[in-house]
Amino acid sequence: MQAEIIAVGTEILLGQITNTNSTYIARGLAELGIDSYYQTVVGDNRQRLSTVIEIAAQRNDLVILTGGLGPTKDDLTKQTLAHYLNVALVEDQAAMQKITAWFATNDKVMTANNRLQALYPAGAQPLTNHNGMAVGAFYQSENSADFLLLPGPPRELAVMFDSEAKPKLAAAYGEQAQIYSRVMRFYGISESELATRLQPLIDEQQAVTIAPYAKTNEVTLRLSAQAMTETAARGMIDKVDHQIKATIGPYFYGYGDDNSLVTTVINQMIAAKLSITAAESLTAGLFQSTIGSVSGVSAIFPGGFVTYANEAKHQLVNVPQAIIDAEGVVSEATAKAMASGAKQQLNTDVGISFTGVAGPGTLEGQPAGTVWIGLAYRDRPVKAKQYHFAGNRQQIRERSVMAGLDLLRHALNEDTDLKNNTNFCSLFACNSNFEQL
């Protein structure tokens, strides 16, 4: 079963409004197991609209038209469709009564063109508009594609599609295989490298589609399968999921459309009851602000330090002046001292530090993008890692924060105490966040 969505409106073509209707409908079709391979936008022109209707009807079982059902001169959708179907337009009496009652209640004169909103193609099933006046319609044909007419305003379309159209589509087409999806998230690998390393797997897949998407500072994979039941789809996706992890597992950090690296890491720390603090130089509090966006972080984050100046590093987190004098602030030794000093000052389980060159100029002979991140994790030896980030000043700061979160992620994953905690494992290690689209 295949459908095409046609959004009608010159204002969409001109970019004056965003076509959110097609997105909404496409999601609803997926829930019904109806494939949607084409989406078209056409202006308020009878000839061009007639052409796209004919093309869509030839290559689909169902054609959905949105917009152009109103009373103005450029609302031509139902008239054009009726002409294509060679049927008349008839009046829906309930819709007509609603329109006349509205004008009477609001003490306004109803012009003749408002009657157009109550018309629909003869032979179709009228669809009630609960949030407006223009009636919709579902037309089933024996010799051609079926047609669904929906209004353009999103608040009208959404209610009509959910309450009126979807039940009729389900009744008309019966049970269809549905699309189920899972989103995997990765940090530390580019989209091009991820695609290259997974190319053999992508090429051999038939039952499961693998779609990579580049996000800001990370990459996601959407695994999708079409099946009659969620259990069947889960089995297909699980197999591919395991193959992907076997190939690029170290970069994988979590599941879900709405997930993020900071959410994953901080929720793991909350579950493990590991407190954290930070000492930040070039990031100037950005790391602390980022973890502060996660609900519940107050349980593990008592506060931290912004140690931008050398004096602040010494005064606030006890970085020995000798280290600063001998090694400089852009150094492994300073990063380690900042992390351990912050941890000691607030008596937390974890201390993390950021020191480096955000740019645009150099510092201590180090180019912009040179960053050291220190990590004092529980009773483990303090360590620091050097990075070289590209980009402008803000991008370097943001990438530093992401790298710090990734250092924490690896520390948590390597913590044998956490792996032995069955409650922690049940929350994170075995999470699959399976989604039905």
Domain boundary residue, one of 153, 173, 193: 173
Q: Is residue 427 part of a domain?
A: no
30 and 131 assigned to the same domain: yes
Q: Is residue 426 part of a domain?
A: no
Q: Is residue 92 part of a domain?
A: yes
**Pairing state between β 119-121 and 89-91:** antiparallel
Q: How far apart are CA 398 and CA 371, in angstroms?
A: 12
315 and 187 assigned to the same domain: no
Q: Is residue 429 part of a domain?
A: no
Residues 260, 215 contacting (CB under 8 angstroms): no
Average the pLDDT over 239-245 and give the result. Answer: 96
The reported pLDDT for the residue numbered 308 is 95
The structure's pTM equals 0.78
Residue 267 bridge partners (DSSP): none
167 and 304 assigned to the same domain: no
The reported pLDDT for the residue numbered 428 is 57
Tokens of 117: 């909103």
Is pLDDT at 397 greater than 50 in this prediction?
A: yes
The reported pLDDT for the residue numbered 177 is 87
102 and 222 assigned to the same domain: no
Is pLDDT at 44 greater than 90 in this prediction?
A: yes
67 and 196 assigned to the same domain: no
270 and 242 assigned to the same domain: no
Local structure of residue 112 (DSSP, 8 states) = G
Average the pLDDT over 198-223 and give the result. Answer: 92
371 and 276 assigned to the same domain: yes
CATH number at residue 187: 3.30.70.2860
The reported pLDDT for the residue numbered 144 is 86
Q: How far apart are CA 43 and CA 74, in angstroms?
A: 9
44 and 120 assigned to the same domain: yes
Q: Is residue 431 part of a domain?
A: no
Average the pLDDT over 79-106 and give the result. Answer: 95
Mean pLDDT taken over the chain: 94
Domain boundary residue, one of 173, 205, 240: 173
326 lies in which domain range?
261-419
The reported pLDDT for the residue numbered 8 is 97
224 and 270 assigned to the same domain: no
Summarize pLDDT for 335-388 with one digit per residue, the tens: 999 999 999 999 999 999 999 999 999 999 999 999 999 999 999 999 999 999
Average the pLDDT over 64-88 and give the result. Answer: 94
Residue 367's CB is within 10 A of a number of other CB atoms, namely 11
The reported pLDDT for the residue numbered 35 is 92
Q: Is residue 353 part of a domain?
A: yes
270 and 385 assigned to the same domain: yes
Summarize pLDDT for 412-432 with one digit per residue, the tens: 999 988 877 766 665 554 444
221 and 273 assigned to the same domain: no
Q: Is residue 166 part of a domain?
A: yes
Q: Is residue 425 part of a domain?
A: no
CATH number at residue 321: 3.90.950.20
User: What total of structural domains would you count in the chain?
Assistant: 3
Please report the sign of the dihedral spanned by the C-alpha atoms of residue 338, residue 341, residue 345, residue 346: positive
Torsion, Cα of 47, 49, 52, 53 (10° steps): -110
**Tokens 């079409």 -> residue:** 226
265 and 251 assigned to the same domain: no
Summarize pLDDT for 113-165 with one digit per residue, the tens: 999 999 999 999 999 999 999 999 999 998 889 999 999 999 999 999 999 99
Nearest residue to 201 via CA among 249, 241, 165, 174: 241
Domain boundary residue, one of 232, 255, 278: 255
Strands (E), 29-88: 35-42, 62-66
